[in-house]
Structure 1
Amino acid sequence: MVGEESGHVPAREALLDAAMGPGRTKKSSEQIRAGRLPANGLAFSAVRPDGSLVGTVRLWNVTAGTKDGANVPALLLGPLAVSPESQGTGLGGLIMRHAIAEAARLGHAAILLVGDPEYYGRFGFSAAKTGSLSMPGPFEPRRLLALELVEAALDGADGIIAPTGRFVLEAASAMAIAA
């Protein structure tokens, strides 16, 4: 597992298109990610020894609604994708465990995602803390899942999940200023 590099972007986009289908950019979670950068240190690529991409996952800074009048910081995981020839090998699980461990190591309190409870439940994700949360568009409530990395991080969280991470343009401006 390596941190995502700019050279992985075209292969990542092709992998996501193949795995998620042509409608992937219309999903509610994509609305949250649009125009944003992944959370610092939380974009990962699984690569073969020859450098070709076989898996990807990214986590994004969001607020999980509010609690006691304050925003509840969290991460939104996704999308997770593994190349067709690597599916069923355990690579997806390895990527997930790595992403969760890194998020915890970096001090994040909770991770949200939209996905199949049957798959993500084995990593500790459930809908137990997401009943008062919603997405900025259509979503299936049973598929809105959370994992608390800090106990009770999502207790009392209520409202719409919204992006808080840096905009892509902010990063481009910062690089231009540094050059």
Structure 2
Amino acid sequence: MTSLVLTIRHEYPSDYDAIERMHERAFGPGRFARTAYRLREGAPPVADLSYCALVGTLIVGSVRLTPVRAGDAPALVLGPLTVEPAFKDRGIGAALMQTSLDAAKQAGHRLVVLVGDEPYYRRFGFRVVPAGRLILPGPVDPARFLYCELGEGAFEAAQGAVRALPAAA
């Protein structure tokens, strides 16, 4: 495998169109109907916690964190984590994940939730949300609904509906 010179930096507003095209290639048009996308509707991601991965000037990956409430607990929803299909399996997603989680923890955030593959996200500290503990605004495979504590005990107050925080919040 060829080694890539990868640069990870904050997402800029000018990156939006390129990232949206990458999401379309990676997830297809049905992505808007997915519960994770619906949860983020109307709630912009946190600029300081949204990152891009670049090879040269080409954006090859992206991750965003968006504020939500998990019951009474403040939290972030991670996603989408996207890697350009031609650049998969090169550690780009893992580098973006670690960067975003480290930044969130440093900024004082204590809890992150996501919908994804537990075997992949386990290495970053994610665990399956216990059945019935949190409720998303749509259907989801319970084995794919995950959480990660960035601060000890952060999950204790998380019980009930997970809802987006609109831009004005």
User: Please, what TM-score do these two structures have when normalized by structure 1?
Assistant: 0.85
Farther-moved stretch of structure 1 (39-48 vs 114-123): 39-48
> Which position in structure 2 is the counterpart of 1:125?
126
CA distance in structure 1 between the aligned counterparts of 2:64 and 2:117, rounded to whole angstroms: 17
CA distance in structure 2 between the aligned counterparts of 1:45 and 1:130, rounded to whole angstroms: 33
CA distance in structure 2 between the aligned counterparts of 1:36 and 1:86, rounded to whole angstroms: 29
2:69 is equivalent to residue 63 of structure 1: yes
RMSD, aligned α-carbons: 1.6
> Which position in structure 2 is the counterpart of 1:177?
none
Query: How big is the shift at 1:164?
Result: 1.4
Q: Is the 8 A contact 1:129 1:155 kept in 2?
A: no
Q: 1:13 pairs with 20, 26, 29, which one?
A: 20
CA distance in structure 2 between the aligned counterparts of 1:118 and 1:157, rounded to whole angstroms: 23
Which is greater in Rg? Answer: 1
Aligned sequence identity (%): 37
Q: Is the 8 A contact 1:42 1:102 kept in 2?
A: yes
Deviations 1:68-127 (A, max 9, x none): xxx210000001010122111111100000010000010001110000001111111011
Letter matched to residue 63 of structure 1: R
> Which position in structure 1 is the counterpart of 2:10?
3
Q: 1:36 pairs with 35, 43, 49, which one?
A: 43
How many aligned residue pairs are there?
Answer: 162
Q: 1:25 pairs with 15, 32, 40, which one?
A: 32
CA distance in structure 2 between the aligned counterparts of 1:94 and 1:130, rounded to whole angstroms: 30
CA distance in structure 1 between the aligned counterparts of 2:58 and 2:14, rounded to whole angstroms: 10
What runs of 5+ residues in structure 2 fail to find an aligned partner? 1-7
